[in-house]
Amino acid sequence: MSDNPRNVITVRGLTKSYGATSVLKGVDFSVARGEVHALLGGNGAGKSTMIRIITGASSKNDGDIRFFDSDGRERSETEGRGKVAVVHQELALLPHLTVAENIALPRHRKASGLFRRRAAAEQAFDALRMIDQDFAAKSVHKLVGSLSLHEGQMVEIARALSSGAELILLDEPTANLTAVETERLFAVLRRLTRDNDLSVVFVSHRMKEIRQIANVCTIIRDGRTVLDRQAMEELTDADIIEKMGQVAGSLAAERAPPTTLRPGASAERNTLTIKEPGFKLELLPGTVLGVAGASAGPATLIEGLTGAARKKRWTVARAAWPDQFGSPRTAARLGAGFVTGDRAHKGVLHSLPIIDNVMASRRVIRGAAIAGSSEGAECLDLLKALKVKAASIWDLPNTLSGGTQQKLLLARWLGVPSRLLVLEEPTRGVDIGTKREIYQLIRQMAASGTVIVWWSTENAELLEVCDRVIAFDTEGRCAGVLEQNDFSEEKLVSLTGMAA
């Protein structure tokens, strides 16, 4: 395909290896001005590596990257990269600073120079009003920590625009947004691409949203481009899944009856009861309880179930357990596990090797101060069970894709005798194939008698995998519980105010 004179970037034949591992094997990719371009591919396909090379965070082994100005003239790599910005899934904002300070500080390079607050406020307002005039007027002097996730994303985008970015890369931008917030974000992106000729690369695994916002897509598979700049309207979902190397069909895992009591064990003794003032829900062993809604309600529930809450609104009761867990460590040792949804900051131990990441929960439960002699074989068995391919268990987790890192967090609890396992967005940012594997793992853990409490912002997957779903409204209040015979996306949307 010949280069479009309207391109803002053209990548040809890009290769990258880390030691003996070849990650990119000849990627082609180009983005035109004024378009929303979906970058698709399974976990480990090479998307993140390509983005790091485009932005200059990593070096390439071979290939050609060219940047162009609005007249089609080629720019130097230094100048071109200065026109590229990335908005990551986890926002890179400083919550104790104002919106104006967050937008202006990246341009304040002289440590000894004065920070001019009035100039910073004007700069922030000019950037924000391109997105939302009303938000610009009321938010410039607000602390970032007081903003919603959607508003924080607007600040990130405004900061990118203030830096002169002409190409913005958005990584899973809707993962924690409500349906209303997602549509607001999409409206902003449509306006910026139409009125400002901004180019947007949209990285997501949510097919419905990709179709809502993207004009064209590029699909990467195993480090190679398998589809370059194809119009979305010319592809079915099945076409995209096949090109990504995934298997089409239902993602649902086979359900087992939500009770697996041992002979002689009583349901009363093994039942878990979760409650808050005025509400009580009893869960038999093997139940998968879905949690639906924006973060306010689910986060409070999760903190209560894992011993992390300061104010004990939610509690979990079971025979031989205390009324409340005093800490996450106590909860883990009594058989209540937790997998955080914030794998980047709270989940993955980035400075420790894969084996330490996988064995972390077992060491807490056993009270082990040092690694056991059998841990190497145990870790390898767990990685094999989860289909994790790693050159060595002593490699750092950043050698693995984001979806594979998510599997490491689940591996911590696989095979551990647990009565309760709380999962926070376990499939966020993972591809369709990895999602299917995680669904099967969840059902496998439930079949062993573990009660699974699973928060997801994707309503469809909760309805496919769970036995019951507790829904929270946007104010964090419990809005109701759906049983399997009453499941529907329409009812969840009505209860939660979220469609995903």
| Residue 350 and residue 310 in contact, taking contact as beta carbons nearer than 8 Å | no
Q: Residue 218: pLDDT above 90?
A: yes
Average pLDDT over residues 424-441: 81
Q: Residue 459: pLDDT above 70?
A: yes
Which CATH entry fits the domain spanning 267-496: 3.30.70.260, 3.40.50.300, 3.40.1190.10, 3.30.70.3040? Answer: 3.40.50.300
Q: State the CB neighbour count (10 A cutoff) for residue 296.
A: 13
pLDDT confidence band for 246 (50 / 70 / 90)? low
pTM over 0.95: no
Q: Is 242 helix (H, G, I), strand (E, B) or coil?
A: helix
Report the pLDDT value the prediction gives residue 15, as an integer from 0 to 100: 95
Report the pLDDT value the prediction gives residue 5, as an integer from 0 to 100: 66
Average pLDDT over residues 242-256: 60
Closest CA to 498 of 182, 186, 77: 182
Q: Output the average pLDDT for the chain.
A: 83
Burial of 79: CB neighbours in 10 Å, binned 0-12, 13-18, 19+: exposed
Q: Residue 87: pLDDT above 50?
A: yes
Mean pLDDT lowest among 112-116, 221-225, 303-307: 112-116
Q: Which residues, listed in sequence order, are joined to residue 7 by a DSSP beta bridge? A: 32
Per residue in 305-349, pLDDT (tens digit) is 888 877 778 888 777 787 778 788 888 888 888 988 777 677 888
Percent of the chain with pLDDT strictly greater than 90 = 23
The pair of three-digit structure tokens given for residue 174, joined into one six-digit string: 């809707």
Instruction: List the domain boundaries for the chain.
Output: 7-244, 267-496
Just give the CATH number of 7-244.
3.40.50.300
Percent of the chain with pLDDT strictly greater than 70 = 88
Kindly give, in sequence order, each residue whose CB lies less than 8 Å from that of residue 99, ignoring residues fewer than 6 positions away: 124, 128, 139, 140, 141, 142, 144, 147, 155
Mean pLDDT lowest among 116-130, 205-219, 222-236: 116-130
Instruction: Please check whether the two domains, 7-244 and 267-496, share a CATH topology.
Output: yes
Per residue in 356-381, pLDDT (tens digit) is 898 888 888 877 656 667 888 889 98
Report the pLDDT value the prediction gives residue 260, as an integer from 0 to 100: 40
What 262-268 contacts at long range (C-beta under 8 Å, 24+ apart), as own/partner pairs, is 262/449, 268/319
pLDDT confidence band for 265 (50 / 70 / 90)? very low
Per residue in 10-67, pLDDT (tens digit) is 999 999 988 777 889 999 999 999 999 999 987 778 888 899 899 888 999 999 999 9
User: 337: phi > 0 → left, psi -120 to 50 → alpha, else beta; which?
Assistant: beta
Q: Are strands 272-276 and 279-283 parallel, antiparallel or unpaired?
A: antiparallel
Q: Is 293 helix (H, G, I), strand (E, B) or coil?
A: coil
* Rounded (to 5) percent helix, strand, coil in the chain: 40, 20, 40
Per residue in 142-173, pLDDT (tens digit) is 998 888 777 888 888 888 888 888 999 988 78
Cα(478)–Cα(52) distance, integer angstroms: 41
